[in-house]
Amino acid sequence: MKIVLATHNPHKLKELLAILPDKCTSGKIEYVGLGDFKKFQLPPETGMTLEDNAVLKATAAAKALGLPALADDTGLEVDALSGAPGVHTARYGGENADADDNNRKLLSALDGKLLPDRTATFRTVACLATPQGHTYLFEGSVSGHIGFGYRGENGFGYDPVFIVDECQKTMAELTAAQKNKISHRARAFEKVADFLQTFKN
């Protein structure tokens, strides 16, 4: 059985391939990225929630490609910013922002706040959609704080500024193996992995 991993982000694709199992009750699973489907483009993330965007991307891929598709949306929810950037996490620094733009805007928005006032949650919602129109949602989250600058050389996105409460290290200070055990995305896709053990398309 083939399942499409509906992301154009190579870092995310690598993480997902490390987390997801390659077998289910109906046999072996072959995961394919969107690089195998050059003509297909994901729709814009126009949803009001992470759930909306995950479903939007997964269902578009499943319908267009005729295969089950997995997609997710992740939000960084900072308490002092009333839950922002939230659903706008990827574009927080502007429509064409890169990770550095996003991180600099976030650190600036929290300027002057002490660590206890910099609490945040990383939340991922994953959606598995079938060509027949069925959707299944899975969620994972991790609690932490936003640091005062960049720490660590690994990961991507907000990883250098997000300090994980349970280990007091930023995501970027963790190895890939460590991150794939405790991250929000890992927790969401571990639930996907459990579901796939019994999934029949």
Q: What is the pLDDT of residue 98?
A: 93
Residue 18 has what pLDDT?
A: 85
Asked whether residue 93 is assigned to any structural domain, the reply reads yes
- pLDDT exceeds cutoff 90 at 150: yes
| The model scores a pTM over 0.75 | yes
Residue 130 domain-assigned (yes or no): yes
Residue-wise pLDDT tens digits, 66-112: 999 999 999 999 999 999 999 999 899 988 889 999 999 999 999 99
What is the predicted pLDDT for the residue at 13?
87
Residue 201 is assigned to a structural domain of this protein: no
Query: Is the per-residue pLDDT at 3 higher than 90?
Result: yes
The residue range of the domain holding 48 is: 2-196
Number of structural domains found in the chain = 1
For 24-66, write each residue's pLDDT tens digit. Answer: 666 688 899 898 888 898 998 889 999 999 999 999 999 999 9
- Residue closest to 172 by CA, chosen among 190, 188, 150: 150
CATH for 86: 3.90.950.10
DSSP 3-38: EEE----HHHHHHHHHHS-SEETTEE-EEEEGGG-T
Which of 36, 72, 73, 159 is the catalytic position?
A: 73
Active site (annotated) includes residue 73 = yes
Joined tokens for residue 4: 């499409």
Helix, coil or strand: residue 139 = strand
pLDDT in the model for residue 54 = 97
Task: State the pLDDT at residue 26.
Answer: 61
